Structure 1
Amino acid sequence: MPDTATHEVTNQPEPLADYDLFAGNAGLRDALRFNAPQLDTAPLQALGVRLGSREMQAHARLANVHPPQLRTHDRYGHRIDEVEFHPSYHALMAEAVGAGLHGAPWAGGGGSPHVLRAAGFQLFTELEPSVLCPVSMTYSAVPALQGNAAIAGDWTPKLTNRAYDPVLRDWHGKAGLTMGMGMTEKQGGSDVRANTTRAEPDGEDGWGRRMRVTGHKWFFSAPMCDAFLVLAQSATGLSCLFLPRVLPDGTRNAVAIQRLKDKLGNKANASSEVEFRGATAWLVGEEGRGIRQILEMGMLTRLDCALGTTGLMRQALALALDHTRQRRAFGKPLLKQALMRNVLADLALESEAATALSLRLARAIDRRDDPHEAAMARLLTPVAKFWICKRGSHFAQEAMECLGGNGYVEEGGEGVMARIYREMPLNSIWEGAGNIMALDLLRALRKPAPGADPGADPAAALARELAPALGAHPALDRLVAALPTRIDALATEAEARRLAQDVALAVQAALLVQMSPDFVAAAFCSSRLAGDWGHAFGTLGATADFNRLLDRAMPR
């Protein structure tokens, strides 16, 4: 019988592996120079090499194909309420915690710690976003804990320590701790004032006012964290409470994990539904002012939503660029095809603009003792969360299309693109979906930020932010000139999304004018602001410098 083997493999790209995530990201490096010129980027350089390695990519794959499993009882029938993870999940967590992504800005030392941490968070998202849920919640919980000095004093050193300890046990015996949050209930969702979980007085001790909590949480992410900040109705209203999984005497708290969520994406992370059956918790902040207490958390987790989507955009772009550089069709590499070059250049612009905006927000959080920066933190948080996260799913779909059918399959290295696509909607939904962000922008424009000059005009702060870029492009000048009138005349909430979009585009354009090469800013302003653009990626005008845009974006 003649040899009829037909399985010779040709024209299939090599995986994007063993490469330096940081060295290949010119937009991120420029954003760091602009926002924190004094920053020592050596830790990011080392992190970029580790995160691009085949070893860490294998951990990311395994953590997703072997999702967490709930163990409600042990073999003898005792209730244990534990989640079992694949070893690769723990390897990823140890890497993220070791890099300080969970709490380094609160540990002191060094300038611009939030910018440094933001860049590391973005890089890590390119590898694997799911495990960053408990990392982000730990980061955001630390300042909120200041509402209870005793708990903050005991827990903050271990919440900021770069040691990962996954064992569920008393906090005294652990080198490092993580925290989550429990806000959402099934009847209310984003409307936490509709929460029905109740907290009743249970005496006092060294951590202050102790409460007994009874109720449920419909979305309780990362239930193996050591403690949680939760909202519950007390005698005077909705209160913020510190609720540990293991009590100081070593016994398990009365938290029953009902089931794990079967989610579209975010597979490596365990998200759960829980019941509190008289669980023990301690008051954080003023009783009845729980929403005020968690506002700080909301700003930081929303920053991470923007950073996370930015990282996913960059990874999708890197995969698309590397694939089209190697894959040939119609006699030449895909990267040499005119239409493909337009698509990839357009995606590169979107990715760099997202990086610019998210790192600018991190800088504002670093400098909130400055009135202008406090105002920008308040304004840019909902703007960045709204616009960057809204663009993510469209971006991922277009990047996937660059790989064709290879991008749609889950198997092997190409499966990363499918994973990115499934992950993209999460950051837009989590911590307040688009309408919530647009409404929050309206509140920010009508009320000065905490710490800002009480007489400060938020719209004036935005004008100051945009002023250095005036004169660079006529379309940007027109948009900046129109914004104050639009803000003053805003009469209906129905227009809030468009305002959030246009503020985002104006700030992105102004940042690119100041921090990126001229050909980047010119292409962004001509397309996003001047109308030389269609309604899909890949519709840049012929004046865009495709060669330099693509060269700048190449991952290796």
Structure 2
Amino acid sequence: MRLDGEREHAPVQTGTHEVRNQPPPLDDFDPLACDPALREALTARGAADRVESLRPLARRAGSAEAREHGRLANAHPPVLHSHDRYGHRVDEVEFHPSWHWLMGEAVSSGLHASPWSPDAPSGEHLARAAGFYLWSQAEAGHGCPVSMTFAAVPALRHSPELAEHYEPGLRSTHYDFGVRHPEKKAGLLAGMSMTEKQGGSDVRANSTTAEPLSDGSYRVVGHKWFTSAPMNDLFLALAQTPGGLSCLLIPRVLPDGTRNAIRLQRLKDKLGNKSNASAEIEYTGAIGWLVGEEGRGVRSIIDMVSMTRMDCVLGSAANMRIALSEASHHAAHRSAFGERLDRTPLMGAVLTELAVESEAAVALGMRLAAATDGGHRGQRAELDLLRIVLPAAKYYVCKRAPSVIAEALECLGGNGYVEESGLPRLYREAPLMSVWEGAGNVTALDTLRALHKQPEAAERLLEELDLASGRDERYDRAVRSLRAELADPQPARARRLAELLTLTVQAGLLLRDSPEEVSDTFLATRLEALGSTPGTSGVASRQLLDRVTPGGRD
């Protein structure tokens, strides 16, 4: 105490920024190493030899560099330039350099077209699906033009001459951005131009017209409400011709080198998917060429829809998986009330359910990709299975993604709600996959249409499910419930049918191909759970959390 009566103050401590109890950045991790479900699915489909070849792509996807490019591409969305400084119409979209980096990596890895190569090895659809799933964890938005290009090739083959002309460029592994003559570019990308404001998924309500010209081309006039990837080199569009709704190929640049009459009216201000440009466009006399037969436009483009729906399932699975990685990584390095989060019973139960839902989505996505391989080898049974399971999977997996990602975000508490965590971006991205290529009601009803058009598809589905019969009574009960729904499918119950179908297929795959701990957890939490939110079953599996946590758990 001072003699003059003044209180003596202790030295002021100014160091307040010591960081404790925070996880290290999830950078430079290997998303394949913490994803045994993917490795098991590949092995079960006879592609164990592909695992090591996927590892370099996986490591790039988990690198600090790729994750930063993903952040920047979304922080700096594309910008539309309708005119140049002199007033000339240019209709171009400017992207951040990080977008081009992501696209270059995806294209050079063949994620846009590798299965269509004439010398593609057996099982290439499966390998490409695994690569697309891994790479999408780096950033989701640029997957749109990658998927569009992948899906355009089988549609274009309905017109062999057009396919012969454009397919080499579409298969090229060189990313060559810009509006130039296709023959002067090292690689091409494709887009889709289907929906209109008055129709949406009801494409037969389209009012865009295509007038046949004397040289065999068509003059296209119309207003398209959503056109994916408007800077791509060519588009497959639906328009009304004299013979009915038809599919046309419309290039950005015509054979004489002039720009086609494609006007970009505006870019959509979307909830998520900020890195990617989605445009409202007008065809003001654009020139196009018929793909397939006049009046058979839906049939011509249906292959494209199927392939993009496949990528919706894979993209949703990828978003769920990277959200799970963020949540499990956080919980493995964060403590509360004297205990590490992932060791607490309730957090363990939540993470367990997120993990098993992710693993089921991966198993299903790889099975669908293998069915695609089988279908292209002429295996009718695999095509039948794909026709009925794909729309149901598109419905259910994409519908689940927002809920799973919201729960993963909440595992981080307030940290997860902050943009820097990356989880808000994943959360905004998640509903897109459910909306794109047919929203929930459309895809659920497409499951019913598959039953009506190909009754043999139901028999093929049941044959697939029978492969796991007798292994668990909970599964057998679910299959019996599904049989009852299949016997009397009703439009009002289409969502129930799609959900039950997907859950039973997932359960059967896990029973056949995954460790008992995984399949048992899935059956307990997804088929028998009392509530719909993760953690309500009370099932917590240390083994599952060890499987899915990046770097493992101490």
**TM-score band, normalised by shorter chain:** over 0.9
2:98 to 88, 107, 124: 88
Asked if the contact 1:459/1:484 (under 8 Å) is kept, the reply is no
* Counterpart pick for 1:58 among 52, 68, 78: 68
How many angstroms apart in 2 are the aligned matches of 1:71 and 1:250?
Answer: 21
1:474 has 2:480 as partner: no
CA offset at residue 527 of structure 1? 2.2
**Alpha-carbon distance in 1 for matches of 2:136, 2:357:** 17
1:550 aligned to 2:536? no
Mapping of residues 400-419 of structure 1, within 5 Å: 400-411=409-420, 414=421, 416-419=422-425
User: In structure 2, what is the Cα distance between the partners aligned to 1:3 and 1:554?
Assistant: 38
Q: Which of 518, 523, 536 is the aligned partner of 1:539?
A: 536
- Specify the SS of the correspondent of 1:469: coil
Match of 2:493 among 492, 495, 510: 495
CA 1:287–1:396: 2 relative to 1, 3 Å: same
| Aligned match of 2:236 | 229
Equivalences for residues 5-84 of structure 1 within 5 A = 5-37=15-47, 39-84=49-94
Partner of 2:340: 333
TM (norm. structure 1) is 0.95
- Mapping of 1:184-199 within 5 angstroms? 184-199=195-210
CA distance in 2, matches of 1:532, 1:267: 36
Distance of aligned partners of 1:62 and 1:430 in 2 relative to their CA distance in 1, 3 Å threshold: same
Equivalent pair of 1:68/1:85 in contact (CA under 8 Å): yes
Match of 1:294 in 2: 301
2:19 alignment partner AA: V
Deviation at 1:541, TM superposition (A): 4.0
Cα shift readout 1:385-413 (whole Å, capped 9, x = no counterpart) = 011001001101100000111111112xx
Query: Which among 262, 265, 286 is matched to residue 258 of structure 1?
Result: 265
- Give 1 or 2 for the bigger CA radius of gyration: 2
TM-superposed CA distance for 1:6, in Å, is 2.4
CA contact (8 A) 1:39 1:116 kept: no
Matches for 1:30-429 after TM superposition, within 5 Å: 30-37=40-47, 39-107=49-117, 108-204=119-215, 209-368=216-375, 369-411=378-420, 414=421, 416-429=422-435
CA RMSD of aligned residues (A): 1.2
| CA displacement at 1:43 relative to structure 2 | 2.7
Aligned amino acid, residue 323 of structure 1: H
SS in 1 for 2:227: strand
In the alignment, the residues of structure 2 paired with residue 37 and residue 84 of structure 1 have an alpha-carbon distance, to the nearest angstrom, of: 40
Residue aligning to 1:451: none
CA deviations on 1:501-531 (whole Å, 9 max, x unpaired) are 11111100000001100011111112222x2
Identity %: 53
CA–CA distance in 2 between the matches of 1:41 and 1:520?
A: 21
TM-score normalised by length of structure 2: 0.95
Q: Please give the alpha-carbon distance, in whole angstroms, between the structure 2 residues aligned to 1:40 and 1:89.
A: 28
Amino acid corresponding to residue 308 of structure 2 in structure 1? T
> Structure 1 residue 460 and structure 2 residue 459: aligned?
yes
Structure 1 letter corresponding to 2:474: A
Q: CA deviation at 1:39?
A: 4.1
- For 1:462 and 1:40, the matched residues in 2 are separated by 27
Shift of 1:486: 2.3
CA offset digits 1:386-443 (Å, max 9, x no partner): 11001001101100000111111112xx1x1111000000000000011111111011
Shift of 1:3: 4.2
Contact 2:42-2:50 at 8 Å conserved across structures: no
What is the DSSP-based 3-state SS (H/G/I as helix, E as strand, rest coil) of the residue aligned with 2:44? helix
Provide the rounded CA distance (Å) in 1 between the counterparts of 2:223 and 2:150.
Answer: 24
How far apart are residue 337 of structure 1 and its match?
1.2
Does the 8 A contact of 2:47 with 2:123 survive in 1? no
User: SS at the partner of 1:41?
Assistant: helix
Aligned length: 538
Compute the displacement of 1:36 (Å). 3.0
1:182 and 1:294 map into 2 onto residues whose CA distance is 11
- 2:520 paired residue number: 522
CA distance in structure 1 between the aligned counterparts of 2:443 and 2:235, rounded to whole angstroms: 24
User: For 1:80, what is the secondary structure of its paired residue?
Assistant: strand
- 2:330 partner amino acid: H
Deviates more, 1:258-267 or 1:458-467: 458-467
Offset of residue 8 of structure 1: 2.5
Structure 2 residues not aligned, in runs of 5+: 1-10
Rounded to whole Å, the distance in 1 between the matches of 2:12 and 2:546 is 48
Deviation string for 1:313-343 (max 9, x for gaps)? 0000000000111111111211111110000
Distance 1:534 1:473 in 2: 21
In the alignment, is the contact (CA less than 8 A) between 1:36 and 1:115 conserved in 2?
no
DSSP-derived class of the 2:137 partner: helix
Please, which runs of 5 or more residues in structure 1 have no aligned partner?
449-455
User: Is the 1:19–1:53 Cα contact (8 Å) retained in structure 2?
Assistant: yes
The answer for the alignment partner of 1:452 in structure 2 is none
